[in-house]
Amino acid sequence: MVYWKRFQILVREMFMGVTIYDVAKLAGVGIGTVSRVLNNSPQVSEATRQKVLAAIEELNYHPSPIAKRLSLRRTFTIGVITPFFTRPAFIGRLRGVEAALTESEYDLVLYNVETTDKRDACFRELPISQRFDGLLLIALPPTDEDVAHFRQAGIPVVLVDAYHPALSHVVIDDVKGGYVATKHLIELGHARIAYISDPLESPFRFTSSLHRYQGYRQALDEAGIPFRAEYHCWAEHGEEQARDMARRLLDLDEPPTAIFAASDTQAIGAMEAIRERGLRIPQDVALVGYDDIEVSRYLGLTTVRQPFFESGVKGVEVLLQAIDHSPDEPLRIELPIELIRRRSTLGDAVPPEHR
């Protein structure tokens, strides 16, 4: 009798998957009970729980997430949209997102956006695709129109390193970051301080270059140092472009004695240009970057550290929370930044904690 039942199930197991029905049959219970032990429902006797567990074990049963999702009407997956994930800043955040999601029962499906067209397509289609319980946008500020679309789709959206008044967001204070970096140079006695960055406005609506610029201006103003337009350069993101900008700066009649770069990648480009001129860092030109990517410590680059990994983690936390019960007010999480003093501004006088 028992053997026949097992045989029956065995045959099925080989061709089809083994389902909750098979487990129920083997354990001699109803599928409801099996479902209960699966979900750790307290209202099931220890005896039957063991029977069911044994059956699950014997059949090597694994519940179908798809069926669960349909039944619960939740996808248990979140979509993550990130631009240019070759760049350390985005990768760093993505690492945090991945790590946080691995801890949860949610799947992470990834979209890499390298054109505004693809971004717009993602913004348009993903929210209404019924595939996600929530969306995480990295460094991609949506327009009001986009946000309206999200609302209509009824899907929680959380921003990391981007801002919109109507959406929860995890950010750092870039104005402050720019201020701190510039102030540091001023305190070292520099007055001819250049700023190199991405274009202040771009089709992607990245805001970091602009905000850091504002901080830069603010520090200058505060110190009574007049802003010189020729000290502000911008170009497409990249080491090479930054090197060219730095070259132009160094070719000025009155070249800067310090350069603040809006990213470490760009600072490294500037570093190349400075060295190629035979100039010394920091004696001839001091250098401050932004981000504190992995190589920066090794290169001795003074920089403004921002917590990439943590921002990804936080973003996920906020999103999962919003999925469970959407907050009345959008949340704002501001993560701390920190000036890391290294050789590129201090020479050998680097404080021990930043070595």
Partner DNA sequence: CTGTTAGCGCATTCAC
Partner DNA sequence: GTGAATGCGCTAACAG
Residue 30 binds to DNA (criterion: CB under 7 A): yes
The token pair at 177 is: 């970051």
Binding-site member from 43, 45, 86, 283 for a second copy (CB under 8 A):
86
Counting contacts by CB under 7 A, is residue 301 touching DNA? no
Helix (H, G, I), strand (E, B) or coil at 261: strand
* C-alpha span between 148 and 196 (Å, rounded): 35
- Here the contacts of 224-229 (C-beta below 8 Å, separation 24 or greater) are 225/186, 225/191, 225/193, 228/192
Backbone angles phi, psi at 79, to 5 degrees: -95, 135
Residue of 266, 242, 330 whose CA lies nearest to 89: 266
Stretch that binds a second copy, among 1-9, 43-51, 108-116, 320-328 (CB under 8 A): 108-116
Give the separation between CA 184 and CA 179, rounded to whole angstroms. Answer: 8
Exactly one of 10, 67, 148, 252 binds DNA (CB under 7 A); that residue is 67
Assess contact for 234 and 199: CB atoms under 8 A: yes
Tell me: does residue 173 bind a second copy (CB under 8 A). no
Residues in CB range of 350: below 8 A, 6 or more apart = 300, 341, 342, 343
Of these partners, a second copy, DNA, none, which one is at the site of residue 128 (CB under 5 to 8 Å by kind)? a second copy
Q: What is the dihedral of CA 212, 213, 214, 219, to 10 degrees?
A: 90
CB 47 → DNA: shortest distance, Å?
6
Residue 16 in contact with DNA, rule: CB under 7 A: yes
| Contact partner, 349, from a second copy, DNA, none, Cβ < 5-8 Å per class | none
Q: Which residue has the tokens 């070595």?
A: 355
By CB under 8 A, what part of segment 42-71 binds a second copy? 60, 62-67, 69-70
Asked if 19 touches DNA (CB under 7 A), the answer is yes
Does 107 participate in binding a second copy (rule CB under 8 A)? yes
Q: Does 349 bind DNA (CB under 7 A)?
A: no
- How many CB atoms neighbour CB 220 within 10 A? 22
Which of the choices a second copy, DNA, none does residue 92 contact, using the CB cut-off of 5 to 8 A by kind?
a second copy
Residues that bind DNA (CB under 7 A): 16-17, 19-21, 28-36, 38-39, 43-45, 47-49, 61-64, 66-68, 70-73
Residues that bind a second copy (CB under 8 A): 17, 60, 62-67, 69-70, 75, 77, 85-86, 88, 91-92, 94-95, 98-99, 102, 107-112, 118, 128-131, 239-240, 243, 294-295, 298
